[in-house]
Amino acid sequence: MLAAKRRSIDMEIRTIGVLGAGQMGSGIAQVAAAAGYDVVLADASVELAQKGLSKIDAVLGKQVDKGKMKAEDRAALVGRIKPAAGPADFNACDLVIEAATENVELKIKLIRACDEAMKPGAILASNTSSISLTKLAGATKRPERVIGMHFMNPPPLMKLVEIVRAVQTSEETYKVVRAAAEKMGKTCTVSNDAPGFLVNRILIPMLCEACFALQEGVGTAADIDTGAKLGLNHPMGPLELADLIGLDTVLAIADVLHRDIGDDKYRAPTMLRNLVAAGWLGKKTGRGFYVYDATGGKQA
């Protein structure tokens, strides 16, 4: 009976829109298409969206070359993703996931644009990792249909989706979104709307403390990361992870936590601010705590 009910809920979502064709947005689009959804992948221009789709195609091409995926399955998955120029193309979507940069003013602007374009009853989700869903929902005409879907980076590999319920989020919206995430093969955790939610409230102080240790000369970046991997059994060191996430994103989340909670344990190190000011944002720019080659590998 429960399985039948879940299937009926899931049938409400057939087409998913993703706003933002960068690392997170393209990853979410790939995961959604792999689950059988039709996907509209949009960015500031159709050229940027096509670039995101090309990256998906290239990643899947490597899986085909390694024998981990059939060529026809790759073609079918890519064929379910349609590049688009912006939110205006989301009019047929049942669920739209905003995956733009972690900036509250930008997100509100984009959320409103999506809200205006979407059909009545469609659900609007944000992939924000720290910004208040209640505030984002309040900027729309469908607050009860707004929710957080925080995918972990990179979405095709990470199994978790953190579902964040705004004060306004309806029970129906939660059930539909959870069913969609589970169809994408994800395990869900649920957080009420609080700064940093669950994962980043725990993670960001650790990343900042590793940066403080480096800033104060307690150890080298390699020693800090090796200590976390071998001493704490973490798959990646905290500085490596910060570089993967993007140092601008780490700083933005730290600032939200520090401002909204008011506890100095969430303050960002000067070194982190300086790296961001220099434009050294981690793997995506080729330099952060480490220097990376053209393939994204760390240089010795």
pLDDT at residue number 6? 44
Could you list the residues known to form a binding site, using ranges: 20-25, 43, 102, 107, 129, 153, 284
Reading the block at residue 289, the tokens are 């705590």
On whether residue 296 sits in a domain, the answer given is: no
Domain containing 264 equals 202-285
pLDDT at residue number 1? 40
Q: Read off the CATH number of the domain in which 125 is found.
A: 3.40.50.720
pLDDT at residue number 300? 59
pLDDT at residue number 224? 98
On whether residue 4 sits in a domain, the answer given is: no
Q: Read off the CATH number of the domain in which 257 is found.
A: 1.10.1040.10
> Are 175 and 35 contained in the same domain?
yes
Cα-based distances in Å from 241 to 207, 228, 244, 288: 8, 11, 5, 11
On whether residue 274 sits in a domain, the answer given is: yes
On whether residue 2 sits in a domain, the answer given is: no
Q: Which of 158, 192, 226 is the last residue of a domain?
A: 192
pLDDT at residue number 4? 42
Q: Which of 192, 215, 230 is the last residue of a domain?
A: 192
> Are 59 and 99 contained in the same domain?
yes
Helix (H, G, I), strand (E, B) or coil at 26: helix
Region for residue 281 given its phi and psi (left: phi exceeds 0; alpha: psi -120 to 50; beta: otherwise): alpha
By annotation, the residues acting in catalysis are: 129, 150, 162, 200
pLDDT at residue number 53? 98
> Are 185 and 43 contained in the same domain?
yes
Number of structural domains found in the chain = 2
> Are 41 and 109 contained in the same domain?
yes
> Are 222 and 271 contained in the same domain?
yes
> Are 148 and 229 contained in the same domain?
no
> pLDDT digit of tens for each residue in the chain (300 aa)?
444 444 444 447 999 999 999 999 999 999 999 999 999 999 999 999 999 999 999 999 999 999 999 999 999 999 999 999 999 999 999 999 999 999 999 999 999 999 999 999 999 999 999 999 999 999 999 999 999 999 999 999 999 999 999 999 999 999 999 999 999 999 999 999 999 999 999 999 999 999 999 999 999 999 999 999 999 999 999 999 999 999 999 999 999 999 999 999 999 999 999 999 999 999 999 999 999 998 878 885
> Are 79 and 226 contained in the same domain?
no
> Are 19 and 65 contained in the same domain?
yes
> Are 70 and 126 contained in the same domain?
yes
The count of other CB atoms within 10 Å of the CB of residue 127 is: 25
Cα-based distances in Å from 24 to 52, 101, 138, 173, 231: 10, 10, 24, 22, 30
For residue 214, give the nearest of 231, 182, 238, 191 by alpha carbon: 238
pTM higher than the cut 0.85? yes
* 156 upstream amide cis, omega within 30 of 0: no
Could you list the residues known to form a binding site for NAD(+), using ranges: 20-25, 43, 102, 107, 129, 153, 284
> Are 20 and 118 contained in the same domain?
yes
> Are 115 and 255 contained in the same domain?
no
Q: How many residues can be counted in the chain?
A: 300
Contact 81, 49 (CB under 8 A): no
